[in-house]
Amino acid sequence: MHDIDATILDIRTLPGNYAVLTLDAPAIAAEARPGQFVHVRVPTLEPSRLRRPFSIYDADPAAGRLWILYKNVGLGTAALAALPAGTRLRVLGPVGTAFPLDPKGAPYLVAGGYGVAPLWFLATRLPRKGTLFVGGRTAADILETERFEALGWTVRVATQDGSRGQAGLVTLPLDEALAANPEAELYACGPDGMLKAVGDRAIAHGIRGWLSLDKHMVCGVGACLACVQKIRRNGVERLERVCVDGPVFESREIVW
């Protein structure tokens, strides 16, 4: 893990208050694995303000570049959105556990909103292609799907207001696909309700389901216990830290 000054090289704004930042961060890009995140200090916030965690959207070790995709939802992300290219950020990473890269069946990636970020990085590293199931409240929450299609992945979209893809939750197309081919491996990132629904399906079908949990974080390095989650392993329940023991856990381990 490194704590470095990373320069914002490029900012690409997307509809729906989302943006993609390209960072010059060679030490982190060299070690980043899909599912890991970076903990970012926004320089214009007071020094006492906490860092903010963002999944690694992509990494290019040869170029020393790292990408994050974020949604402007509050104080920290609004301050981040106001920074111009050329700004230097203090970035800690890569932090946390990664998604395994050995799917036992067709990889089914399930994303809600910005949850698509670590799943894109995963799609570029998995040994086989599969299907991205992506859901959101409205069409503006459906991000970067053309990149998955260009990589040879199938994309299935669901929006709650029906403005893009099937009307309803992302579990709708996922259930259809699991009914047709239950030999899958599930990987998901998004809100808790979606993660639990995906995990329940992995358990019901007897397949593996890897869930990236999104918890409020403070230190991001395992010291403060702000991010604990109850985990059951080998029949024993205990609290684990999502920042360093996760964020990726297998469905059967999570006690919701």
Ligand X SMILES: Cc1cc2nc3c(=O)[nH]c(=O)nc-3n(C[C@H](O)[C@H](O)[C@H](O)COP(=O)(O)OP(=O)(O)OC[C@H]3O[C@@H](n4cnc5c(N)ncnc54)[C@H](O)[C@@H]3O)c2cc1C
In the block, which residue shows the tokens 């684990």?
240
Q: Residue 137's beta-bridge partner residues?
A: none
* Residue 49 dihedral angles phi and psi, to the nearest 5°: -65, 145
| Joined tokens for residue 90 | 């203090």
Q: Could you say whether residue 201 binds ligand FES (CB under 6 A)?
A: no
For residues 122 and 193, what is the distance between their CA atoms, to the nearest angstrom?
Answer: 22
| Joined tokens for residue 81 | 């959105």
| Joined tokens for residue 111 | 């994303």
Q: Among 47, 48, 62, 74, which residue interacts with ligand X (rule: CB under 6 A)?
A: 74
From the list ligand FES, ligand X, none, partner contacted by residue 37 (C-beta under 5 to 8 A by kind): ligand X
Start-end of H helices in 38-102: 75-81
Q: Could you say whether residue 53 binds ligand X (CB under 6 A)?
A: yes
Start-end of H helices in 82-170: 116-125, 145-150
Within 197-216, the residues that bind ligand X by CB under 6 A are: 214-216
From the list ligand X, ligand FES, none, partner contacted by residue 222 (C-beta under 5 to 8 A by kind): ligand FES
From the list ligand FES, ligand X, none, partner contacted by residue 218 (C-beta under 5 to 8 A by kind): ligand FES
Q: Which is nearer to ligand FES, 53 or 107 (CB)?
A: 53
Q: Residue 195's beta-bridge partner residues?
A: none
Q: Among 223, 233, 238, 256, which residue interacts with ligand FES (rule: CB under 6 A)?
A: 223
From the list ligand X, ligand FES, none, partner contacted by residue 77 (C-beta under 5 to 8 A by kind): ligand X
Give the contacts of 125 (CB within 8 A, at least 6 positions apart): 33, 34, 101
Q: Could you tell me whether strands 52-55 and 37-41 are parallel, antiparallel, or unpaired per DSSP bridges?
A: antiparallel
Does residue 83 contact residue 8 with C-beta atoms inside 8 Å?
yes
Is the previous residue joined to 118 through a cis bond, with omega within 30 degrees of 0? no
Q: Could you say whether residue 224 binds ligand FES (CB under 6 A)?
A: yes
Q: How far is the CB of 234 from ligand X (least distance, A)?
A: 25
For residues 247 and 229, what is the distance between their CA atoms, to the nearest angstrom?
Answer: 10
From the list ligand FES, ligand X, none, partner contacted by residue 71 (C-beta under 5 to 8 A by kind): ligand X
The region of 29-37, 90-98, 204-212, 217-225 touching ligand FES under the rule CB under 6 A is: 217-225
Q: Among 52, 71, 208, 241, which residue interacts with ligand FES (rule: CB under 6 A)?
A: 241
For residues 215 and 256, what is the distance between their CA atoms, to the nearest angstrom?
Answer: 13
Q: Could you say whether residue 4 binds ligand FES (CB under 6 A)?
A: no
Q: Could you say whether residue 71 binds ligand X (CB under 6 A)?
A: yes
The region of 16-24, 132-140, 172-180, 221-229 touching ligand FES under the rule CB under 6 A is: 221-229
Q: Among 14, 63, 75, 151, which residue interacts with ligand X (rule: CB under 6 A)?
A: 75
The residue ranges that bind ligand X (CB under 6 A) are 37, 52-55, 68-71, 73-77, 114, 117, 214-217, 247
Q: Applying CB under 6 A, which residues contact ligand FES?
A: 217-220, 222-227, 241, 243
